[in-house]
A and B are shown apart, each in its own frame.
Chain A
Amino acid sequence: MSLLNVGASGLAAAYAGLTTAGHNIANVNTPGFSRQQTVQTTMPGSFTGAGYIGRGVAIETIQRAYDQQLTNQTQYMSGQASEASTHHALMQRVDRLFSSDESGLGASLDRFFSSMTEASSRPADMSARATVLSSATQMAERIRTTGAQLEGFGMSADQGIRAAVGGINDLAKRIGGINDAIAVARGTGQPPNDLLDQRDQLVTDLSKLVGVNAVEQSDGSLNVFMSSGAALVVGSIAASLSVAPDASDPGRQVVSVNSGGGAGVVVSSDAISGGQLSALMKFRDVSLVNAQNDLGRFAYAIGDAYNQVHAAGTDLNGATGSNMFNLASPQSYANAANTGGASLTVNVANANALSPSDYRLDFDGSNYTVTRERDGSRTTSATLPVTIDGLAIAAAGAINAGDSFSIRPTRGVAAVFTTAITSTRQLAFSQSAASNDNRNALALAAIPTGSMLGALSVSQVFGEMASNVGATTRSLMLDSDASQKLLDQARTDQSAVSGVNLDEEAAKLMRYQQAYQASAKVMATAQTLFQSILELGR
């Protein structure tokens, strides 16, 4: 009788092995699946006078091939690679705006300068004047379009942030749900392998949206934290992220974490790392702002240089030169949490001293501190107005201790850059109203060869700007390549442990099939033996 049982146990073990191999083969293309294997053990023998006689085999458990450390590594690298490639893809769009081809911004600047050089020798030639006006308009349009495109990238980054936040909230909820299911399943004493795989895959997906740390608890549930330290999932409870306007800049959206009641905690772009959300925030708040400020400062400096020289001349109507270009004044915002009612007035005192940075002004009750946000350098003054980097900052109204203001000197300049003159007669080429007097035209034509921002020529400043954008894009590309390689490595390592190898499964199938057939033979033998005994009594 025991032989039949031994055969049956072998049959069951082989069947479990075949099913498990079949499950592995079925999931060969399932992302996040860890191959499973049966763990067999010998049943304790039954004691006889002749010693222990074997009773067959038992399946102890179904184990998944898994390495926590390799899984964490893959999740971490997924976040890093997703951040780097997202940031790189976003920055490539900016990079293309500064391309050096004939239709680019640089070429339109060169055409404007050339038209001015040619018109300066023929101040009375109306067609030369018309060329100056049209090339100035084209240049302004290129600057404006580039500025508007950069603003558009900011808006689509905001949309991307909303989408990422939606995705994060969804994944956090699902992880919380699976945590619950796993805790229940663990009650059976056997690991719920496929739920565990699903949860790991959800954490990997979440990592692609925002970098997280996952810590397994003793009850089998997984707590998930963002790299800022804020908890996203604790047990079955998921926090939610929300998007709302920034208190210090109404045009900007910030992400905050609401973990169970109370006011949300704002997540700043430098506090989180990994994932699309981090990439979108870093792109919008750093890379894009730098490009916008660089372009705005460049546009302001050029416009101001032409306006000043133009104002020193006389146009064909005998009037003093008006502004050639319309320039937007610096923007400033009072923080929504300010208790005083003051507003700032910021003007450009010296366009050539402008820096490509945003500023923050804080008042602590006795001193005003102006922080240059690009490099964090601070200037403290006991009184206002104060002049910093070519900006004259004054305030009107009461400022209380703790009040703060944001200053955006050049960010909006490019998107509204237009020519102020509309007629060729308004070009102030002379210093005497005589139509062949070209003295002011010569001064206008000399602007590109003179120095402006930081004692560089216009084309050097433009080159520097393009080079900044290019260098940022290139280093993101290298980051992206490097993190992709590391991710590949981590996946290879993980796949070596957890991945399904079809050859291996085929071998297992054969092995278990043979075991199955052999066990069946054992049972057949037991049957034959039983028959033999029955025949004895005939």
Chain B
Amino acid sequence: MRIGTYYSQLSTTDQLLRNQFDLYTTQSQIASGKKINVPSDDPGSMAQITTSRASLKAEASYEKNQVYLDSMLRTVESTLGAVGNSLSTAREALVQANNATLTDADRNSIAASLRQRRAELLTQANTTGGDGQYLFSGFQSSAPPFADAAGGVVFGGDNGTRNVLVGPSRSIAANADGDAIFMNIPRGNGVFSTAAAATNGGTGRIETGGVNNPAALTGQNYEIRFTGPANYDIVNTSLGTTLSSGVFQSGTAIQFGGMQMVIDGQPAGGDIFAVDSAATQSIFTSLDRAIAALETPVFTSADRARLSDTMRGTTADLDQAISRALEIRGEIGGRMNALDLAGNISANTALDAGTTLSGLEDIDYAEASTRFTRQKTAVDAALAAYAQTTRGTLFDYLR
């Protein structure tokens, strides 16, 4: 086998250049810490790399959304807490106002404190979150959702639920329905409400009552009409029919349509007690009615009975509002738990994606430095061999 001097030197140099290129590649991998810089470095892993990278980026934005949602939910939660406190304070005032020993002046001062509670509640209803948006306005945001108008407070928002993405196809609502919290509160015991008519002449007072047979509830409105001090008719006002008649006995429950309630005191003939189903009323209207009743002077026992009935009815209405606020706070608490869970899921997903990405992309330093040493040795050896083999020919020995 002959060796062509020219080509053997040429191919040795080529090989040397290739060894140096490999060495350079390894060196730049060690410097950047990445073994994949362009798709051809590992085409089979590209799909996994892009999805992992996308997943990392996406989880980072979900985590930002979670931080935002957390602050929103905390604000809603604390606002609802404040609403509950205002309502409880108002309720205590109402209980206090029902005391027969109070004078008109005492009641006026209670009415004044109720006005303060009403103002507090209106401010709370128009609370804004950290981003300046109203908490209870639904999708509307340009103006305060609750406005004090001539006929009472009106709600200008809507019941839009603003969902926040906290994960791929997972979202949690950020706001609470202002209408449900402040405006649309069921009255009485939540199923029906009772009230004495303003025109009643007797001292009969009706209690809030309760449901004794849920299956028999009709959802219709009734009136208990006293035809005399001892007799009453039960009239279904929704249908305009008289359901039954009864003999009145103070303190004994009257039952019809699955409901039962007690009237005590002494109603007069012509007195009417309304039993309305499914009626709702705003917190503000309830307070407005209590304030109006407290500011009306009491002269007769019938006046007292009317006041007492209003105080009792409003207390029941506020109880409903308090329980509504509690219920929504509970629901917000549930969302916060879901948010914590979403946070854990995000963190795990991001960790998984990061680990996958790192495994695919990042260089194994132990392997790389071994490879570097090996290639360095090869280059050194090739250099030494090149120097040796090209050093001399036979010509050097011809003298």
Contact = CB atoms under 8 A, between A and B. Distances in A.
Interface of A: 28-30, 91-92, 95-96, 98-101, 106-107, 109-111, 113-115, 117-118, 120-125, 430, 432, 434-438, 442, 445-446, 448-449, 457-460, 462-464, 466-474, 477, 488, 491-492, 495-504, 506-507, 509-510
21 contacts: A92-B38, A95-B38, A99-B38, A113-B57, A117-B61, A430-B139, A435-B142, A442-B163, A442-B171, A458-B54, A459-B53, A463-B48, A464-B47, A466-B39, A467-B43, A471-B39, A473-B39, A488-B11, A491-B11, A500-B5, A501-B5
A143 to B, nearest CB: 15
B43 A470 contact: yes
Q: Which of A91, A477, A499 has the most CB of B within 10 A?
A: A499
A463 B68 contact: no
B299 interface: no
B343 to A, nearest CB: 15
B131 A125 contact: yes
A496 B1 CA distance: 6
Contacts of B61: 113-115, 117-118
A92 B7 contact: no
A436 B72 CA distance: 14
Contact of B5 (A121, A464, A502): A502
A415 B129 CA distance: 44
A483 to B, nearest CB: 14
Interface stretch (B146-154, B327-335, B391-399): B391-399
Contacts of A467: 39, 43-44, 46-47
A436 B160 contact: yes
Interface pairs A-B: 7 shortest CB-CB: A499-B4, A470-B39, A470-B43, A495-B4, A463-B47, A463-B50, A473-B40
A378 to B, nearest CB: 30
B58 interface: yes
Contact of A491 (B7, B51, B158, B168): B7
A467 B48 CA distance: 10
B140 A492 contact: no
A448 B53 CA distance: 13
Interface of B: 1-8, 11, 14, 36-44, 46-51, 53-55, 57-58, 60-62, 64-65, 68-69, 131, 133, 137-142, 158, 160, 162-165, 168-169, 171, 174, 361, 393-395, 398
Nearest to A430: B139
A437 B139 contact: yes
B6 A117 contact: no
Contact of A499 (B6, B37, B42, B169): B6
A120 B53 contact: no
Contacts of B55: 459
Nearest to B43: A470
A122 B50 contact: no
- A442, A459, A462 — most chain B CB neighbours (10 Å): A459
Contacts of A506: 393-395, 398
Nearest to B46: A467
B40 A477 contact: yes
Given A121-B174, A471-B40, 4 more contacts: A113-B58, A466-B39, A499-B7, A510-B398
Contacts of B51: 457, 459-460, 463
B25 to A, nearest CB: 12
B4 A460 contact: no
Contact of A114 (B5, B7, B57, B164): B57
A179 B215 CA distance: 113
A120 B47 CA distance: 27
Given A100-B50, A110-B54, A113-B58, A497 B137 contact: no
A124 B69 CA distance: 15
Contacts of A468: 43
B165 A121 contact: yes
A492 to B, nearest CB: 7
Contact of A110 (B11, B43, B58): B58
Contacts of B68: 121-122
A504 B394 CA distance: 8
B394 A495 contact: no
Nearest to B169: A449
Contacts of A492: 7, 11
B138 A114 contact: no
A474 B43 contact: yes
Contacts of A509: 398
Contacts of B138: 434, 436
A84 B165 CA distance: 49
A448 B394 contact: no
Given A111-B57, A466-B39, A28 B6 contact: yes
Give the interface centre of A99, A110, A471 by most chain B CB atoms within 10 Å.
A110
Contacts of B133: 122, 124, 436
B2 A462 contact: no
Contact of A459 (B7, B50, B140, B165): B50
Contacts of B69: 121
A18 to B, nearest CB: 14
B53 A98 contact: no
A497 B46 contact: no
A260 to B, nearest CB: 39
Contacts of B41: 470
B250 to A, nearest CB: 54
Given A504-B2, A510-B398, A438 B393 contact: no
A185 to B, nearest CB: 26
Contacts of B162: 121, 123, 436-438
Contacts of A28: 5-6
Contacts of B7: 491-492, 495, 499
Given A457-B51, A507-B394, A470 B40 contact: yes
Contacts of A503: 5, 393-394
B140 A497 contact: no
Nearest to B158: A434
B65 A98 contact: no
A492 B2 CA distance: 10
Contact of A436 (B4, B49, B141): B141
Contacts of A510: 398
B56 to A, nearest CB: 8
Interface hub of B51, B60, B165 (most chain A Cβ within 10 A): B165
Which one of B55, B57, B64, B168 has the highest number of Cβ atoms from chain A below 10 Å of its Cβ? B57
A411 B50 CA distance: 23
Contacts of B5: 28, 499-503
Q: Which of A29, A438, A472, A473 has the most B CB atoms < 10 Å from its CB? A: A438
B14, B53, B138: residue with the most chain A Cβ atoms closer than 10 Å: B53
B191 to A, nearest CB: 34
A315 to B, nearest CB: 14
Contact of A99 (B3, B37, B62): B37
A459 B168 CA distance: 13
A396 B377 CA distance: 70
Contacts of A91: 40
Contacts of A438: 162-163
A123 B3 CA distance: 77
